[in-house]
Amino acid sequence: MSLQKSAKERFFHALGFEVLAIAICAPLGAWLLGYSLGHMGLLTLMISLVAMSWNMVFNALFDRAQQRMGFQRTLVARAVHSVLFEVGLLLAVVPLAAWWLGIGQWEAFVLDIGIALFFLPYTFVFNWTYDQVRATVVARRARQATA
């Protein structure tokens, strides 16, 4: 495993992120907003598919930026990563949520701000944990390869 992630690794990173997010958000959204679990489950699935696609593209761009600029994946870098990711996702999700829930763009925007307030720390913690686990796996494989 190198600094550069394969498409397969990117897919499983994004899939793990989205599966856990759906498991948390669908029941929570149904309870908080008064929609059925099925209705919210489908919305969270649609948002997840958009987010998963964006995740793969955004993280590839983030890796390229890291290679060009030479920064480390510090807490500050991950905080910036989380904010930029959520801004891009907001631009895609607001119209989808407004349409699916039959609400106005403003209401969907406010709803998405609430969702983003959950996802900012979730994204940060998930990716920070992923980085730490990945670094351990990379180091272990490097030790095994030289042994």
Q: What is the model's pLDDT at position 1?
A: 46
- pLDDT tens for 114-143 read 888 888 899 899 999 999 998 898 889 888
Distance CA 20, CA 16 (A): 6
Distance set, CA 46 to CA 49, 50, 122, 128 (Å): 5, 6, 19, 25
Q: Where are the domains of the chain?
A: 7-146
pTM, rounded to two decimals: 0.69
Percent of the chain with pLDDT over 90: 48
- pLDDT tens for 48-98 read 899 888 888 998 999 999 999 998 889 999 888 988 988 888 888 999 999
- pLDDT tens for 12-46 read 888 888 898 999 999 999 999 999 999 999 999 99
What are 23-28's contacts with CB under 8 Å, separation 24+? 24/118, 24/122, 25/115, 25/118
Cβ contacts of 32 within 8 Å, gap of 6 or more: none
Q: What is the model's pLDDT at position 2?
A: 55
First vs last C-alpha separation in the chain: 16
SS3 103: coil
Measure the CA angle with vertex 27, ends 84 and 91; round to 5°. 25
